[in-house]
Amino acid sequence: MVNIVNCYMSLLQKTMKLAGMRPKKLEIEPGTTIHFWVNSNKTKKKKNKKPLVLIHGFAGNGLITWSFQILALRKKYDLYIPDLVFFGESYTTTKSTEVTPRFHADYFAKGLRKLGVEEKCVVIGFSYGGFVAFQMAEHHPDLVYSIVAIGTVSALSESLSRECSEQVGGRPWSEYLVPQSAEDVKVLFDISFHRLPRMPKFCYKHWLESMYDHRKEKVDLLEAALIKDEDVPNHQFKQKIHLLWGTEDRVFNLEVGIAQKKKLGGTTELQIITNAGHLVQLERPCAFNKCLKNILDSLAIDKRLTT
């Protein structure tokens, strides 16, 4: 049987190219290549298009995670959608145990500069991608104007990871996020969606075959993201931070979002989308896009950003 997920990805890539997006592979340093989807040169010529960076999580690659947002934002903003290392077409020869959120933050920042990003951008991070976004804001403040963090925290402590895992069944997160069988994929989708759409069983099998190569490396990525409780930083971000949460998120529940807002303090804002789980941008794309556009308008990124 033809793998329908591969067919969908092929169709999605063609759709994005028709919509003015183009893939770019950049060798950031010898042994490390980052794959981006960016606006084509033709669409970049339009004036006043400010840069947005969208970083995905463990649910898939950049294109499949942000497809609804790319189509909604591509005309107004200069989009940069990287694949995490060992996802999509990004890869490195660096030991996978050393590929941390900070590693991604540094290499994404270098990639953006190679792509000609000269002004500050808004970084939108989902789940693991949010860890990377916060690292970019902390270590590359000259590049990051603001963060939109979706169902995520600034740093994943061991105790928080353990607490959240116990709420969905108590297994290690690697068993949920790096499934080994079609049934495991269904369990992951059940956790990630508030209301999982009905799908034939073969869909889960095809998703497993298409999305879960580099298993060991992905497990290492998860373990490398964990921080001992006593080592969790208390960095005070200067950037404006918007937290965006689904009310029915089971990975990081809404209480985690409320606690994160309190921890970050300052001008941090928390906005919620009802009847949505962890994959809020896929489950309720229209409501999500409306909320995201309002946030971006509030940041006035359609005007010239100031340092």
pLDDT tens, position by position, 93-108:
999 999 999 999 999 9
On the CB side of 252, how many CA atoms lie within 13 Å of its CA? 27
Q: What are phi and psi of 95, to 5 degrees?
A: -55, 130
Question: pLDDT-derived band of residue 79, with 50, 70 and 90 as boundaries?
Answer: very high
Please tell me the distance from the alpha carbon of residue 27 to that of residue 191, in angstroms, as a whole number: 35
> How high is the pLDDT of residue 46?
57
Those residues with Cβ within 8 angstroms of residue 75's Cβ, 6 or more apart along the chain or in another chain: 43
Chain-wide mean pLDDT for the chain? Answer: 92
Q: To the nearest whole percent, how much of the chain has pLDDT over 90?
A: 85
pLDDT digits (tens, 9 = 90+) for 45-75: 556 789 999 999 998 899 999 999 999 999 9
Question: pLDDT-derived band of residue 263, with 50, 70 and 90 as boundaries?
Answer: very high
Give the rounded distance of the alpha carbon of 258 from its chain centre.
20
Given a cut of 90, is residue 281 above it in pLDDT? yes
185 close to 204: Cβ distance less than 8 angstroms:
yes
Q: To the nearest whole percent, how much of the chain has pLDDT over 70?
A: 95
Question: pLDDT-derived band of residue 234, with 50, 70 and 90 as boundaries?
Answer: confident
Query: Which amino acid does the sequence have at 226?
Result: L
Fold of 4-298: Rossmann fold (3.40.50)
Show me where the domains of the chain are located.
Answer: 4-298
Given a cut of 70, is residue 44 above it in pLDDT? no
- Say which residue the tokens 């963090």 belong to: 149
> How high is the pLDDT of residue 302?
42
> How high is the pLDDT of residue 147?
96
Secondary structure, 3-state, the chain: CCCHHHHHHHHHHHHHHHCCEEEEEEEEECCEEEEEEEECHHHHCCCCCEEEEEECCCCCCHHHHHHHHHHHHCCCEEEEEECCCCCCCCEECCCHHHCCHHHHHHHHHHHHHHCCCCCCEEEEEECHHHHHHHHHHHHCCCCEEEEEEECCCCCEEHHHHHHHHHHCCCCCHHHHHCCCCHHHHHHHHHHHCCCCCCCCHHHHHHHHHHHCCCHHHHHHHHHHHEECHHHCCCCCCCCEEEEEEECCCCCCCHHHHHHHHHHHCCCCEEEEECCCCCCHHHHCHHHHHHHHHHHHHHCCCCCCCCC
Cα of first residue to Cα of last residue in the chain, in angstroms, is 54
> How high is the pLDDT of residue 198?
87
Average pLDDT of the segment spanning 130-150: 97
For the entire predicted model, the pTM comes to 0.94
Question: pLDDT-derived band of residue 304, with 50, 70 and 90 as boundaries?
Answer: very low
> How high is the pLDDT of residue 300?
65
